[in-house]
């Protein structure tokens, strides 16, 4: 069905963590995929096995520059998503969200393509409402060290809806909550990859604060399924829609679970909380369940076991 509706699909950020999984799923559905990436945080190793597949093509390109291609649909996943990466060059991070969105939306307007924006739970900031529904407007510090990502993504959503209202562009907006799985980078600064790498190396596992702050982790296959369902949803449904796991877990329990899976002797050590780090984060997915008939199916424990196996093999190599 997907290949008949959208035979040619562009995935910006296609060599990244979620993007590379999405490319594989689209190819399995018979779609011709153009993967666009500048490899700032994406990795060739994530897609090397796809090169040579007649349905797969790679274009090295920075989406802060205009993109001239032909496509039936666009998944816009291009943006550094971990604090260590998006804070390294915050001005460029904002440009990727703002200039990148303008370029992707311009491409969609020219070709008549439907375009899906991979937004983020970070648009809610440090939420005062829990769990977070799509109607919550957020609690974001616009001048903090995370604002380049938080406000960049919020502005991207603004652009998507303005293009939809002003030009009739067919849009979809997904707010993705914490996601994990194979193809995460060992040094990306995300909590799951940090904990797994530290546990596999027998190093102390670093928690911030007292470890009681919570997140909700979804396995990457579930998120990819949600993105595809959103892309195929009725024209009148634009989102934004939360995609994430409503099962909340504290950072301390996460660390202890990973230590148990790895069989590690790592001890837990505690450091001060980073600036503007949210205390709680959990999606209300009622809209996704109703509009997309979607909810996560992979448990956190099962997903962690698969991810530990991936990192164990990667670090050994």
Closest CA to 216 of 233, 194, 192: 192
Q: Where are the alpha helices (DSSP H) in 147-219?
A: 147-167, 191-201
The percent of residues above 70 in pLDDT, for the chain, comes to 98
Residue 148 lies in a domain: yes
**Residue 270: strand pairing partners:** 207
Question: How many structural domains is the chain composed of?
Answer: 1
Chain segment 132-171, per-residue pLDDT in tens:
999 999 999 999 999 998 999 999 999 999 999 999 999 9
Active site residues: 149
Chain segment 33-57, per-residue pLDDT in tens:
999 999 998 999 999 999 999 999 9
Residue 261 lies in a domain: no
Residue 301 lies in a domain: no
Residue 284 lies in a domain: no
Say if residue 95's pLDDT is above 70: yes
Q: What is the mean pLDDT of the chain?
A: 94
Domain range for 237 is 2-183+218-245
Structure tokens belonging to residue 195: 């904990």
Structure tokens belonging to residue 102: 């303008």
Return the pLDDT at 277.
Answer: 66
Higher pLDDT, 278 or 149: 149
pLDDT-derived band at 276, boundaries 50, 70, 90: low
Residue 115 lies in a domain: yes
Residue 262 lies in a domain: no
Higher pLDDT, 281 or 16: 16
Structure tokens belonging to residue 99: 């200039």
DSSP secondary structure code for residue 153 in this structure: H
Contact 138, 154 (CB under 8 A): yes
Q: DSSP letters along 76-129, please?
A: E--S--SHHHHTTSHHHHHHHHHHHHHHHHHHHHHHT-EEEEEEEGGGGBS-SS
Question: What is the DSSP pairing of strand 249-250 with strand 214-215?
Answer: antiparallel
Say if residue 32's pLDDT is above 90: yes
Q: Rg (Cα) of the chain, in Å, rounded?
A: 19
Contact 196, 261 (CB under 8 A): no
Going from the C-alpha of 32 to that of each of 73, 111, 191, 249, 261, the distances in angstroms are: 11, 16, 34, 38, 38
Say if residue 3's pLDDT is above 90: no
User: Whole-model pTM?
Assistant: 0.94
CATH of the domain at 239: 3.40.50.720
Return the pLDDT at 279.
Answer: 76
Residue 195 lies in a domain: no
Residue 206 lies in a domain: no
């Amino acid at each position: 069905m997907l290949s008949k509706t959208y035979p040619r699909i562009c995935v910006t950020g296609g060599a990244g963590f979620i993007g590379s999984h999405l490319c594989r799923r689209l190819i399995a559905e018979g779609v011709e995929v153009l993967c666009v990436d500048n490899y700032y945080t994406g990795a060739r190793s994530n897609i090397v096995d796809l090169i040579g597949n007649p349905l797969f093509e790679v274009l090295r390109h920075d989406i802060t520059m205009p993109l001239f291609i032909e496509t039936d649909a666009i998944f816009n996943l291009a943006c550094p998503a971990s604090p260590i990466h998006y804070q390294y060059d915050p001005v460029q991070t904002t440009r990727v969200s703002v200039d990148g969105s303008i370029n992707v939306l311009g491409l969609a307007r020219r070709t008549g393509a439907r375009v899906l924006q991979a937004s983020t739970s970070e648009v809610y900031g440090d939420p005062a409402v829990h769990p977070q529904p799509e109607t919550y407007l957020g609690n974001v510090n616009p001048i903090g060290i995370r604002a380049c990502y938080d406000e960049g993504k919020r502005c991207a959503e603004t652009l998507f809806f303005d293009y939809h209202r002003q030009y009739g562009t067919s849009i979809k907006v997904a707010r993705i909550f914490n996601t994990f799985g194979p193809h995460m980078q060992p040094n990306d600064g995300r909590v799951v990859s940090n904990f797994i790498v530290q546990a596999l190396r027998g190093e102390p596992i670093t928690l911030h604060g007292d470890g009681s702050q919570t997140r909700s982790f979804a396995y990457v296959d579930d998120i990819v399924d949600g993105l595809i369902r959103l892309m195929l949803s009725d024209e009148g449904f634009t989102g934004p829609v939360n995609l994430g796991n409503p099962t909340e877990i504290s950072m301390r329990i996460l660390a202890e679970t990973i230590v148990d899976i790895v069989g590690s002797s790592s001890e837990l050590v505690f450091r001060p909380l980073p600036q503007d780090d949210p205390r709680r984060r959990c999606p209300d997915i009622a809209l996704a369940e109703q509009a997309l008939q979607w909810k996560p199916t992979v448990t956190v424990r099962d997903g962690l076991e698969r991810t530990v196996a991936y990192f164990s093999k990667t670090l050994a190599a």
